[in-house]
């Protein structure tokens, strides 16, 4: 997992435990996060990726994600949420590359946490999901100041 921040990967597992998410939901969250990190590396700096990382991305995309039990049970809800996450990432990436990044592109960049909140709602229901929404979305560790410094 060389191109993926292992600290964040393990932190996601801890968050899932604290939120009392089932194992298959935790596996899905961690898998999705790892895949998007690797896909971002493919776009930004493919030479940075090891062959093992590329092989893992191919396997996870074609085998692991489509067979994840949580994903299979919830594909109708997750697929549109993932589509929006990808569209928001693309919007953020475009703004960043064109030097038009701002508070809006910062929000777009955090689309993964929208999916994470949906996972929580699917596991815990809408009442508990709404009560925990601020907590779940606050798991995004990057601040606007960090983001702006990254691109200035």
Residue recorded with tokens 């995004």: 140
Report domain extents, the chain: 6-151
Which residues, 6 or more positions from 149, have their beta carbon under 8 angstroms from its beta carbon? none
Mean pLDDT computed over every residue of the chain: 92
DSSP the chain: -TTS-HHHHHHHHHHHHHTT--HHHHHHHHHHHHHHHHHHHHHH-GGGS-HHHHHHHHHIIIIIHHH-HHHHHHHHHHHHHHHHHHHHHHHHHHHHHTT---HHHHHHHTHHHHHHHHHHHHHH-HHHHHHHHHHHHTT----HHHHHHHH-
Question: Tell me, what's the pLDDT at 4?
Answer: 55
Confidence of residue 9 (pLDDT cuts 50, 70, 90): low
Q: Is the pLDDT of residue 11 over 90?
A: no
Rounded mean pLDDT, 51-57: 94
Rounded mean pLDDT, 1-24: 79
CA dist., res. 77 & res. 107, Å (int): 21
Structural tokens at position 101 = 């990044």
pLDDT tens by residue, 88-138: 999 999 999 999 999 999 999 999 999 999 999 999 999 999 999 999 999
User: pLDDT above 70 covers what percent of the chain?
Assistant: 94
CA dist., res. 78 & res. 45, Å (int): 28
C-alpha 1 chain-centroid distance: 16
Confidence of residue 1 (pLDDT cuts 50, 70, 90): very low
Indicate the pTM of the whole model.
0.89
Question: Tell me, what's the pLDDT at 5?
Answer: 59
Within a 13 Å sphere around the CA of 51, how many CA atoms are in the beta-carbon half? 0
């Amino acid at each position: 997992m060389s191109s993926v921040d292992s600290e964040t990967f393990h932190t996601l597992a801890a968050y899932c435990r604290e939120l009392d998410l089932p194992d298959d939901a935790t596996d899905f969250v961690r898998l999705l996060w790892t895949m998007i990190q690797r896909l971002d590396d493919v776009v930004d700096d493919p030479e940075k990726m090891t062959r093992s990382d590329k092989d893992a991305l191919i396997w996870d995309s074609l085998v692991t994600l489509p067979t994840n039990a949580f994903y299979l049970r919830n594909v109708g809800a997750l697929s549109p949420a993932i589509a929006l996450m990808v569209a928001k990432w693309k919007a953020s990436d475009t703004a960043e590359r064109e030097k038009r990044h701002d508070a809006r592109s910062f929000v777009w960049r955090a689309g993964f946490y929208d999916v994470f909140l949906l996972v929580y709602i699917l596991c815990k229901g809408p009442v508990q999901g709404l009560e925990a929404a601020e907590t779940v979305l606050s798991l995004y560790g990057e601040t606007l100041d960090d983001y702006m410094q990254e691109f200035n």
